[in-house]
Amino acid sequence: MLDSLANDNWEDFRQRYNHTYCWLVRGAERLFVYLNDIDSERVKFSMGNGMTFAANADSGTTFEFIPIDRGWYNTTDGSVLHLSRVPERQFRRGISDGNTILADASLFPTDLSFKRLSSIFNLPKQWAQPFVEGNANAFSKHFAYLPSGKLVFHHVEIGRFNNGSFEVDHQFLQEVSDVFRRRNLQLPIKGH
């Protein structure tokens, strides 16, 4: 969702986007930023290196807000993170502390930080990670392999990696097989 700060929409813009993570769109380039503060005259935003900038209202500066798409994501450091939405906070759009839960491979909530989120959104090919036993891997938004050997559907264990193959609950066997086929993963899989 693209939006820009204007004098006639600043109150709505502030309610929807203050303290959210988004892309600053400059031509074909997109920079991951955090909106620190919004008032009637400008929007202040920061980048991962801590530098803060401002864009004036009605300047045409465009931001692309990232919807919270529930699921597992690979990161640039080789771990996996799970994003989900806090349902009671619908007024704020985009990813923010007030409406987003981030969980790590231990399935426990973790801090929502610029560093963690940019490790997801700056990864060029999200589901192209090769499978290595013992390394976390998000096969798709729905399915992830965790370092403990578990295969999970969001937060529910549906299988394990044992003796060189995945053993998956029968009800998920077809879906997991389809994900492996689409990713061109030649991994042995069987139902149990």
Q: What is the pLDDT along the chain (192 residues), one digit of tens a residue?
A: 899 999 999 999 999 999 999 999 998 999 999 999 999 999 999 998 889 999 999 999 999 998 888 999 999 888 999 999 887 656 678 899 888 999 998 888 888 899 999 999 887 777 778 888 999 999 999 999 999 999 999 999 999 998 889 999 999 999 999 999 998 888 889 988
Q: Are strands 165-168 and 189-191 parallel, antiparallel or unpaired?
A: parallel
CB 128 within 8 A of CB 120: no
